[in-house]
Chain A
């Protein structure tokens, strides 16, 4: 298997050189023609000087060898045509060797100066191209937020860097450190096949390699390498047919690979950072969950166990009224535990994505009725007004879940408002949304915590004395979101809280009409 480590490739030149010599000959010939016609006007020394012109031009344009050729040709023609005896070379003509030497010196000097200039210009142009290409790529990379798009951009950019689009493939290691082709540019010629062995070798060794017939690589394998890590391998199809990359192109490709590697590394770091942030967040939640559960479960449990043991042990000393009191305490404690468990389960179901909506056409008025019935005991010490338009359109929702939301909101309204205060329920609808507002006239929320209220385990500092888990509103938000709606809290006027739910009106009837 001939592996070729790609080196600076040969530069195509023979046709170029041939043209230079032809041009030198032509220039000398044209000048000779002009000078021959006007030979009586000039002194011989002027003619000799004028023959410097083609040498200069050739040296500037084509470099040293064509210039030397031009110098020699010029001296020979000059000697033969303008130095008497005409058309003949004599021994005396050896003095014109001085002229020839001067010509040669001028040719060499000019050619070298011009060559340096040309090289510098080339270098500058190349650098400019490289810089702009790199700049363009890194600018694109900076805007990209996910790995897939990033690889896609890199591949497309590298592919487009050359006059002819080249096929580009990028292979990245998967979770088991096995290389997988992550992206490939759509190039019509699909004759390129990635050699898995070469790919693996390049990835393990972090060195580039070309693979194919001798001096005719099919694909160039370039490691995407940052300081200490190879992130993947980029495979590039050869540029043109039958030729490999020249050193400039190779350098561009390498530089692009460098940018790509840094971008991939950045993406990895970002992902890691995100992950560790998530872990910290889940750690915080777990702690909050434990605190909340241990407190919220233990308190009612303590009252239940206390009351029950009190009853069992003190049957004969407790009055009937006391027994009733203790039993009521047990009932209250169990209800509270039941609510907590329902909420916890609801939260788990929302978080784990196990929540499935059983959407059906539902009547908002009916759902409100159900919720009011659920909390009717608590509501008996509130003045409740319900305002629902007669022509309410049906809602495509999961009534069990929406009922849970309404019950939660109504319980909150009761919990955070004084006995005898009002609770208003108001429903409105427009062409595409239904809005439900529940207003109480209790403690009210602080304006800056309007959003925080819906965070898991968030409990307002102003209500720490009222028991609660900080789960109810988070569940409400999860359910409403799952329905494509929004839930908001704001401070009511003059006091209290207004909870507003907006649900999209996408009724079955409308859908039927459309179809």
Chain B
């Protein structure tokens, strides 16, 4: 897995250099593209295992690059953004980006996102029992245990936890969660139900619901279930 090839699309040489050095040190091979067009061409020719895509590119919008890539490929894409454009983030995530990371970021964060995004492709249902922190989720028997004690969840709470667990480590936008838990016909305006159920769920599975450690809120974006391996970096 560590032989994965990563394409970096960013117009800033400094950022590309930083990413290249760090990713190489972690055993990945990297390719660099400075513009959106270059990125698209390289993505097509090199078929990378993962793309790190900056949203603000000089020639075309990052979201447009993402759209074109998604036209023919399911390659994991991690978005790089600056702090203050939640709308862009959510748009990219709703349009096929796997995850995002906000500049300035720590390398630990970046490596965790990359690992989760790469593993997501390899994730298969033959792994039906998930362990996240002190939580054990049995997807076949629909059993959730906290520190060995079974937790009683309502169907919606379970569905919510299941969706988060299947994408564990990855951020899920409000819309993605609403669609996958409540169905296609759900509306953005119903997102307060989502918040209520996340609250209920936290009360049942978190040690201290006021300081959640398992279901993390990404303000303005969505929720993320802690990745099982997030603690080791």
- Chains A and B form a bound pair: yes
A370 within 8 A of B: yes
**B45 close to A (CB within 8 Å):** no
A366 at interface (Cβ–Cβ under 8 A)?
yes
Q: Which of B28-36, B120-128, B188-196 contacts A (4 or more CB under 8 A)?
A: B188-196
A358/B220 in contact, CB under 8 A: yes
Name which residue of chain B comes closest to A507, CB basis.
Answer: B192
Which residues on the A side are within 8 Å of B141 (C-beta)? none
In the complex, besides A368-B210, A399-B220, 11 extra interface pairs with C-beta distance below 8 angstroms are A345-B83, A361-B192, A363-B198, A365-B210, A366-B198, A369-B212, A386-B211, A394-B196, A399-B219, A400-B219, A508-B192
Using an 8 Å CB-CB cutoff, how does the interface string of B194-213 with A read, 1 for contact, 0 for none? Answer: 01101100000000011110
Which B residues are in CB contact (< 8 Å) with A116? none
Question: Chain A 24-67 against B: per-residue CB contact (8 Å), 1 yes, 0 no?
Answer: 00000000000000000000000000000000000000000000
CB distance from A319 to the nearest CB of B (A): 22
- Residues of B at under 8 Å CB distance from A? 83-84, 86-87, 104, 189, 191-192, 195-196, 198-199, 209-212, 216-217, 219-220
Give me the 4 closest cross-chain CB pairs, A-B, nearest first.
A361-B192, A400-B220, A386-B210, A403-B219
Instruction: Give chain B residues whose Cβ lies under 8 Å from the Cβ of A509.
Output: 192
- A342 in contact (CB, < 8 A): yes
Query: Chain B residues near A345 (CB, 8 Å)?
Result: 83-84
Most chain B beta-carbon neighbours within 10 Å: one of A349, A366, A370, A373: A366
Is A338 engaged at the interface, CB distance under 8 Å to the other chain?
yes
B211 touches A366 (CB 8 A): no
B217 touches A366 (CB 8 A): yes
Contact of A372 among B189, B198, B211 (CB under 8 A): B211
Q: Which residues 484-515 of A sit at the B interface, judged by CB distance below 8 A? A: 508-509
Q: Say yes or no: A373-B211 contact (C-beta < 8 A), given A358-B86, A394-B195, A399-B220.
A: yes
What are the interface flags for A340-382 relative to B under an 8 Å C-beta threshold, 1 for contact and 0 otherwise?
0010010001000000001011110111111011000000000
B194 and chain A: residue at smallest CB distance: A361
Give every chain B residue within 8 A of A386 (Cβ-Cβ). Answer: 210-211
Could you tell me the distance between the alpha carbons of A398 and B198 in the complex, rounded to whole angstroms?
Answer: 18
Which residues of chain B are near A144, meaning CB under 8 Å? Answer: none
* B216 to chain A: closest residue by CB: A373
Secondary structure class of chain B's binding surface, majority of residues: mixed
- Cα separation A334 to B103 with both chains bound (whole Å): 12
Closest chain A residue, CB of each to CB of B206: A369
B104 x A334 contact (CB < 8 A): yes
A–B complex contacts, Cβ < 8 Å, 17 sampled: A334-B104, A345-B84, A349-B84, A358-B87, A361-B195, A363-B196, A363-B198, A365-B210, A366-B199, A367-B219, A368-B210, A369-B210, A386-B211, A400-B86, A400-B220, A508-B189, A508-B192
CB distance from A64 to the nearest CB of B (A): 90
Q: Closest CB-CB distance, B181 to chain A, in whole Å?
A: 17
Q: What CA separation (Å) do A403 and B210 show in the bound complex?
A: 14
A368 contact set on B, CB distance < 8 A: 210
Task: Decide: B191 and A361 in contact? CB cutoff 8 A.
Answer: yes
Q: Size range of the interface on A?
A: 20 to 34
B189/A370 in contact, CB under 8 A: no
Instruction: Flag if B220 contacts A365 (CB, 8 Å).
Output: no
Query: Hey, which chain A residues are within 8 Å of B211, CB to CB?
Result: 369, 372-373, 386
Q: Is the interface of A mostly helix, strand, loop or mixed?
A: helix
Q: Report B-chain residues with C-beta under 8 Å of the C-beta of A394.
A: 192, 195-196
Question: In the complex, which residues of chain A have a beta carbon less than 8 angstroms from the beta carbon of B191?
Answer: 360-361
Question: Which A residue sits closest to B208, measured CB to CB?
Answer: A386
Given A369-B212, A373-B211, A386-B211, A342 contacting B83 (CB threshold 8 A): yes
A99 within 8 A of B: no
Give every chain A residue within 8 A of B195 (Cβ-Cβ): 361-363, 366, 394
Is A388's beta carbon under 8 Å from chain B? Answer: yes
> Which B residues lie within 8 Å of A334 (CB)?
104
Instruction: Kindly provide the distance from the CB of B206 to the nearest chain A CB, expressed in whole angstroms.
Output: 9
Residue of B nearest to A384 (CB): B211
Measured CA separation A334–B196 after assembly (Å): 37
Chain A residues near B209 (CB, 8 Å)? 365, 369
Interface centre among A345, A349, A368, A399 (most CB of B within 10 A): A399
* Shortest distance from the beta carbon of A377 to any chain B beta carbon, whole Å: 12
- Measured in the bound complex, the distance between the Cα atoms of B208 and A386 in whole Å is 10
Q: How far is the CA of A367 from the CA of B198 in the complex (A)?
A: 12
B203 nearest CB neighbor, chain A only: A390
Closest to A338 in B: B104
* A361 → chain B closest CB, angstroms: 3
A363 CA / B87 CA spacing, docked (Å): 20
In the bound complex, how far is the Cα of B90 from the Cα of A358, in angstroms?
A: 13
Tell me which of A361, A386, A394 has the highest count of chain B C-beta atoms within 10 A of its own C-beta. Answer: A361
- In whole Å, how far is A58's beta carbon from the nearest beta carbon of chain B? 91
The residue of chain B having its C-beta at the shortest distance from the C-beta of A376 within the complex is B211
Nearest CB to that of A374 among chain B residues?
B219
| Chain B residues within an 8 Å CB radius of A360 | 191-192
> How close is A357's CB to chain B, nearest CB, in angstroms?
11
* In the complex, residue of chain B having the shortest beta-carbon distance to the beta carbon of A390: B203
A363 is contacted by which of B83, B104, B189, B199 (Cβ under 8 Å)?
B199
Residues of B within 8 A of A398 (CB): 220
Measured CB to CB, the closest approach of chain A to B131, in angstroms, equals: 22
Q: Mark A398-420, 1 if CB is under 8 A from B, else 0.
A: 11100100000000000000000
In the bound complex, CA of A338 to CA of B220 (Å): 20
Query: Min CB distance, B64 to chain A, in Å?
Result: 23
- The CA-CA distance from A370 to B220 in the complex, in Å, is 11
Closest-CB distance, A164 to chain B (whole angstroms): 59
Min CB–CB distance B182 → chain A (angstroms) = 15
CB distance from B93 to the nearest CB of A (A): 15
